[in-house]
Copies of this chain bind each other. A is one copy, B any other.
């Protein structure tokens, strides 16, 4: 007997019409290493918003019960050509209870347990998930385990990646974000230097309260001097940025170069040879990334994504990272939510306008049975 339930789908047509709607669908029986999870909670992360909203005009969209239809701006629509006409699920991660399992031992072992999972269609009442990617939550609630993958593994991934590259300090351009707070705690635990950039003075306080040493406020007049001093003090020539558009990466490279040049004994027309490295891991600002000259040729900028990184490090490192997340789920890796919405509430104008603004500390949690 097939399990049926509600699931969210997002479809972008060639003419730029974006339709996001809840449908009643049936879920297949899990096979092999699959498990069927009755979903209880799923966060709305910035990485989910690209496929859910992706720059569409939410202000002038048509809203009805469990559905909205919006127009995508021409440029964004052109850039999304590859998904035209496809009906896609959404929601990277969530937590729920395993109610059916495939024959494989790993799947069977999870039967009846509450797990965190990464199904890719987490905005749904049920999901088919890979047992190998499930994290048994023990006595933790679904809410505590809903965000156990994307942010914790990304923050840990930054530190792992930095250590692999021989770095002892890193820079993060959005220090006060949920992920930034996790990163602050991880760096303290691991003795890694961290330069946090924030935009407001209350965010400085927030990070100082959880023990951050170097917090620089981009709204301050002496921001560039603060940033330069913090890089000098920590040696953070290696950083992560989820904004993408604009000049934040450029500013980081400039400050790094200032420090490097101040340490040079001889002038070079080519700038310093100090390697400077930045990673863009998100596109909170979908505008262009602007890189000005002024920091020589000793710099590298890359995109960074969690899944290719995890593939590159292999099962052992990933297993160690996941164990650490489970062991510290309500401390180092705790997430906080502003609102809880069910699938229909998630698609109302008020909710959409609010969570798509991606304000720091205002994350939404989808609870599909509430």
Contact = CB atoms under 8 A, between A and B. Distances in A.
A301 B301 contact: yes
A273 B308 contact: yes
A324 interface: no
Interface stretch (A107-115, A178-186, A192-200, A284-292): A284-292
A128 B85 CA distance: 68
B305 A302 contact: no
Interface in A250-265: 250, 261
A295 to B, nearest CB: 8
A270 B88 CA distance: 13
Number of copies: 2
A294 B79 contact: yes
Q: In the complex, which range does the number of interface residues on chain A fall in?
A: 35 or more
B269 A83 contact: yes
Nearest to A270: B305
9 contacts: A288-B290, A288-B292, A290-B290, A291-B301, A296-B305, A297-B303, A300-B300, A300-B301, A301-B301
Given A244-B293, A291-B291, 8 more contacts: A82-B261, A82-B267, A289-B290, A289-B292, A290-B290, A300-B301, A301-B301, A301-B302
8 closest cross-chain pairs (CB), A and B: A297-B303, A300-B302, A289-B291, A297-B305, A51-B269, A79-B294, A288-B292, A288-B290
Interface of A: 50-51, 79, 82-83, 86, 88, 244-245, 250, 261, 267, 269-270, 273, 280-281, 283, 286, 288-294, 296-305, 307-308
